[in-house]
Every structure is written in structure tokens, then in C-alpha cells.
Amino acid sequence: MKHLFRVASLSLVFLSFSMMSCKETEPSISQSQIDKLGISDVTHLSAASKRALDWPKDLGNEWFLDFQGLKPLKGDLAYEEGVVRRDPSAVLKVKDTYYVWYSRSTGPTQGFGGDIENEKVFPWDRCDIWYATSQDGWTWKEQGVAVKRGEKGSYDDRSVFTTEIMEYDGVYYLCYQTVKSPYVVRVKNQVGLAWSDSPNGPWTKSAEPILSPADNGIWKGEEQNRFSVEKKGDFDSHKVHDPCILPYKGKFYLYYKGEQMGEEITWGGRQIRHGVAIADNPKGPYVKSPFNPISNSGHEICVWPYNGGIASLITTDGPEKNTIQWSADGVNFNIMASIKGAPHAIGLNRELTSEQDPVQIMDWGLSHIYNSGDYQSIMRFESRKIREHKAIGEKGNLK
């Protein structure tokens, strides 16, 4: 693929420190490059100009898009005071009906300062996974619970949330985050799995988690302080979040967000990275890739197949946030575009493919919005491709 070796985007300055700290040989520059990049003096090249000279000659904009404002849904997924609906899964179309799964809870959030056993520490605390259906993607009918929290003492007895859906060989798989009580600051989230022969259930849950945090960090002291550590451990030593399973090259790739014990604030914000675990069977066992972490940034997982590889939308946290990246092998990702205004917790419309257009799958889908600190609702996003720009009445194309 022509963009395989793209390693920088138009608006980011990361990975440049080593270039600025050592003596370099001036690159060979053609007149066309000087003209295209607007270089004033080839004997005085800034670090930015040197990076630009390394860009591919066919640098295009087929990965570039602009997200429009979120729009409210109708029916049962319209905002409802007192109810949390958030983190929509991908949208699947089964025959003539759209399906979506999501986290659902009720009541306000008290945080960690009160009665942990009986109150609610986050909006996604005390959730079950519900689902809804629609004929047009706008008006939705809530169908009820798909996956409930487990019995007391089980690994998922406190909350099941932030789910993603995969259909494979006529079987539907829901992967999701789990929390076991008590929900304290240092609790270690895991990933569960449920499957069914129908999008309407019933669902069979895995008896044990299919993915857990790395067990190689060391907390400092007994106080519930997640920033106090003796050893941080791997990038996912505290939590594994936002799972998404894709069938890929005869195996199953479980992409997830890792949170590290003693998480820091860095020059890109929160220290969040993504990882992948791979299995021969949708139900596992999943083995974490030795190449983890596979991103330097990100938050919610948003991945899709394209051109024999995997594309990923990276948002919210880290020095590479607000980029779309692509990997030929599902592990080693390079930046393809810098974007802005991406919605949170995107639920892709998997009815749309990206076989020709790498970002067609994001023409529309679902997201969520914070209506208040206590309550969230699911919304619809749309995007547009930016292929040219010109003033009103101006002739000619600028691509």
C-alpha cells in the first residue's frame, strides 16, 4: 500500500527530539519539493522542513475527514433524565433491522467519597448491557437487557459495560469491561465475553475473564491512591478497557485500552495506550502480543479492516491523539491523517465498509454525550470528506 511507510502527520511534532539533538547531513532537495513545501532557504532547514522532506511524495488526503456535530436520537434512545446510556457498540444491520448494544445504569454518581458498597462511583458503575433496534438509524426501540451483572462474588458482579459486538459464522459475540465489588480506586478491571446464535439472545457468558491486567506493578502503601506506586509495571498493569474483537487473517484480534498503575500526565495528556491480544478461537484463550503497547496514545478503541490491514482512530489522550493510523499486520501502526473533533466512544456502522474509501465506515454511526455529570445519552454522528477547498464563486480545484 502506498501509505505503508508514512510515519508523520501534517499537524504533529512528536518524534522530532532526536532529529534536533544531533548533527545531520542536509538532505538532497529537488526544485519541485522546494516549491511544494514553500522552503525559503535550503541552507537553513528547520526541524519542521526536515520532517516534511521525509513525507511520501504522494501525500494525499483520502484519510482526512471532518466530523459534524452530534445529533439527538429519537424514540427510547432520546435523552432521559435519571438514566445513563453510553458507550454504544458498533451498529450491526441484521436483515432490515439495525442493532446496537450499550451500557445502561440509573441514578446519580456519588464518587469514591461515600458508601462504596451501596453508592455509585462512576456513571458506568452498576451497569448492565442493554440493546436497542431501529429501522432507520434514527428512531430506536429499547429491547431490554442483553447481559446482566454476575452473581455476588463473581468477577463481574459490580458492573458490565463498554461493550462491543462481533458477528462471525452466524454467532454474535459481545466483549465488555467487568468490575468486581468493591469498586475502589485500585480495582483492576477485566474483560468478559458473551455469545449467542441470535442478536436477540439469550447470551451465554464466559465463566472467567478472557483478558486481565498485567500483574507486574507494585502499589505503594495501603491508601487507595492509584498514582502511588513502587513499580508501574506494563502499560496495562491497572486496567484493560474498551475491548473490540476483529476476525483477522484467520485469527481473532482483541484490541483494548491499557491503563497503567501510577498513570502519569505527559506532554500529550493522560498516559493511555492500546494493546492487542490474539486467539485462534473467538472464545479464546487470548494471548497478549509481545509488541504491546501498539499505540502511544488513544482512549476508546475504534478499529476497522482496510486494504488487508487494520485502521485505528486514536483520540483524546497522548502525543498522537487525533490521528487515524493504519497497520499492514494489525500490530505496527503508522499515522495516515490528523483529524479534529472526533466523537467520544464511537460505535461504527459496520454495514458500511471501507474497501475503496478508507474512512467510509465513519460516514455515520453512534456516540454519546454528557448531558450532565450524572447522565449521558447516545447520539448520532456524521462526517464529511474534505477533498478540496475554494471560496464562493471561485473556479478550479484544490485537492
pLDDT tens-digit profile of 257-274? Answer: 999 999 999 888 999 999
pLDDT in tens, 4-21: 334 334 334 333 333 334
Q: How far apart are CA 79 and CA 74, in angstroms?
A: 9
Q: Are strands 272-279 and 287-288 parallel, antiparallel or unpaired?
A: antiparallel
Sequence-distant contacts of 339-344: CB under 8 A, at least 24 apart: 339/64, 339/65, 339/66, 339/67, 339/313, 340/66, 340/67, 341/66, 341/67, 342/67, 342/313, 342/315, 343/67, 343/70, 343/367, 343/379, 343/381, 344/299, 344/300, 344/315, 344/316, 344/368, 344/369
What ranges do the domains of the chain cover?
1-58, 65-385
> Measuring CA to CA, how many Å separate 246 from each of 64, 79, 307?
23, 31, 15
Supply 331's cell numbers.
500490530
Q: What is the pLDDT of residues 117-145, one digit of tens each?
A: 999 999 999 999 999 999 999 999 999 99
Mean pLDDT, range 52-68, rounded to an integer: 85
Class of domain 65-385: mainly beta
Phi and psi for 18 in degrees, rounded to 5? -65, -30
Cβ neighbourhood burial of 228 (10 Å; 0-12, 13-18, 19+): middle
Q: How far apart (Å, rounded) are the C-alpha atoms in residues 243 and 289?
A: 15
pLDDT digits over 185-197, tens only?
999 999 999 999 9
Average pLDDT for the chain: 91
Record the pTM.
Answer: 0.90
Average pLDDT value for residue range 322-338: 95
DSSP label of 349: B
Confidence of residue 206 (pLDDT cuts 50, 70, 90): very high
Q: Is residue 338 within a helix (H) or strand (E), and if so which, with residue range?
A: strand 333-338
- Would you state the cell numbers that stand for residue 121, as one nine-digit string? 462511583
The Cα–Cα gap between 103 and 157 comes to 15
pLDDT in tens, 156-191: 999 999 999 999 999 999 999 999 999 999 999 999
Exposed, middle or buried, 24 (CB in 10 Å: 0-12/13-18/19+)? Answer: exposed
242 Ramachandran zone, left/alpha/beta (phi>0; psi -120 to 50):
left
